[in-house]
Structure 1
Amino acid sequence: MKEAAPGRNTGSGLRSISQQHIPARNGERSTYFTDIDFDKQGKQAGFVYFPHSPHDDAWGTIRVPLAVIANGEGPTILLEGGNHGDEYEGPIALGELIRTLDPQSVQGRLIIIPAINAPAVDAGRRTSPIDGKNMNRVFPGDHAGTITEQIAAFVNDELLPRADALLSLHSGGSSLNIVPSTIVIPCPDKKQFQRCLDAAHAFGAPMCVVMDNLGDRRLCVTAAMAAGLTCVSTEMAGGGVVTPSALDLCRQGMLRVLRLWDVLAGDEASSNAASRKQPYFEMRGAKAYVIASEHGIFEPQAVAGAQVEQGEIAGRIHFLTAPGKEPVTLYFQEPGIVYSTRQYGIVHPGNTCAVVASPQSGHFA
């Protein structure tokens, strides 16, 4: 995890935002409020509220669930789920943690936001039904922006500075099937990267993948990495359903990482040492992605988890209302494991149909 700032984990210097208005980065004043006191010991479960004035609720609010479980001194861990509203394993596991965890078993502080994009979670959609935005593409957010941007700004400016580490729980959602895995963002700081890799392997997923999301820096985890946190993301299956085996992995992996980070009792030192010897996979840029070139129906030729070679057929795009037109064949441009496949049959130009993760080359280490 990152080096502790003066006063970190002791409560000193960490201002509560209870019923306060906090100055925003862009000169505006933020308008969110909460009854959660981040410096208080014990368990608190409540909400952070963002003013929202639609047609049917002139002085309404959007509320986002928020919990703090604190006991004594120790690291502060931020746990996030529901960044995309159609990814269910993380919110379920975090809700269970909030309900069942005894504060006396904690050494430090957990800040838990199990359904960070609450409007999207309620709708079961990847993006918010209010402003149509993907929360994981708006960081660092905007206190004077739309609801999604305001929630992201709250996380970026109020939660990340308090934290030493972030565990961000995702799945493939409605549009993807993904091999259950942990994800680490490449990082020029070798020590920070190794801490992330250690935690990713301690989680215990079948694969660990290093990827840079095609260079996109608008994700929660990239904001956290830039702030110096130790960060791990997960992908727990997908297809728009709850996968029991992935949910169980999410529950157990979360606890293993929290033990590794010394917030929960338990010895995970062996996982820390072993992770340095374990391989990981890489997403090697744009060629890892099989991208649709036409509007049609995609017929895959390989399932998630399959081993493929460069030049092998990834699938074909069929034209159902133009039966005389020959299908277009798409090919894998990298060898490795099929990491994810598209769940929807229909594709449009630019849609990702499959992604390949290749064995490590040592480029990021």
Structure 2
Amino acid sequence: MSGAQPLAVTMNEGVILDVEVRRERIQRKVDEGYCDRITDKIDEALEWVMDAKKKEVPISVGLVGNAAEVHPELVRRDIIPDIVTDQTPAHDIYSYVPTGELSEVDNLRQKDRKEYRKRALDSILIHTNAILKMQEEGAICFDYGNNLRGQAELAGVEIRRDDGKFKYPGFVPAYIRPLFCEGKGPFRWVALSGDRADIEEIDNELLKTFPEDLSLIRWVNLAKGKIPMEGLPARICWLGYGERAEFGMIINNMVKNGKIKAPIVIGRDHLDCGSVASPNRETEDMRDGSDAIADWPLINFALNAIAGASWVSFHHGGGVGIGNSLHAGMVIVADGTREREKRLERVLTVDPGIGIARHVDAGYERARDIAIKKEIEIPD
């Protein structure tokens, strides 16, 4: 499991059963406020979630167990969740924990990696077949971007349809791509002062700047109350083309005028509209078949460099494992100077802009409409 899942579900007033093999990881998330309850007993976990569902009360339950054992048991009991996804570290086969005594498999990982890999793939086969069975019984299933389906294919699972597409989709083609067509993606900033009051000032300015974005307003208000800050104070939200540049310059002006105590580092996730080539995640099932074309993240990397980013990076493996994706990163520091304002405008324009161009090139009408609306010049 990850801490994000239980909190995301309860923030949206849902009920979640989250399976995690290591008790201490669930306990940490309970202590931090991400997860509500913890148990080692499947019957107790099911009693809690079924009762909450009946009463329509949000709850997150962390069940200590292995998904390759729990999921088939749920199928056997004819307990089919409304939604099923997975965030085991399947992208790295040596981090995925196979069934068996935990101390024994941890020891096996160190002593016999070949056998560990075999057992991990055997467990992935069982785990994924259970997800497919849940899908057959009516569950909405989607891949979270951790390459479980890719590993399942290696394990011998019939994970693809006759047309070559996966039997259950990744979350990007299923839900996120229309936002990518608008140049929207994860946009984040960190307060170098270490003072969370700086983040609160920016939160307030964000709400004033985009008062018509109801999902953004809902997110910020929920995040302020429910998400603990660890390390340097930070915030993340989804902003689109034009919005990022506008708000980046607003932050820079806040630094200049002393409303913020120190410079702000602005960046984004490697998951974004134009910075990735990842056939099993961000660029899965592209309309023109360009899933694996890596020119786009390279262009993104170069554009951000010449536009004046504080630093740029190029890396691979994000989410789906080393060798399975290529992606570019960028960061720019808002220090309150006029020179940095110019750079912020350039970087925060070209970074999402190439994402719109990438989707126009792939044949998405929504991206073309946005390009016309935003007056982005894209060659035919």
Instruction: Indicate whether the TM-score tops 0.5.
Output: no
TM-score band w.r.t. shorter chain? under 0.3
TM-score, scaled to structure 1: 0.26
Report which of the two has the higher share of strand.
1
Q: Name which one, 1 or 2, has greater alpha-carbon Rg.
A: 2
TM-score, scaled to structure 2: 0.25
Report which of the two has the higher share of helix.
2
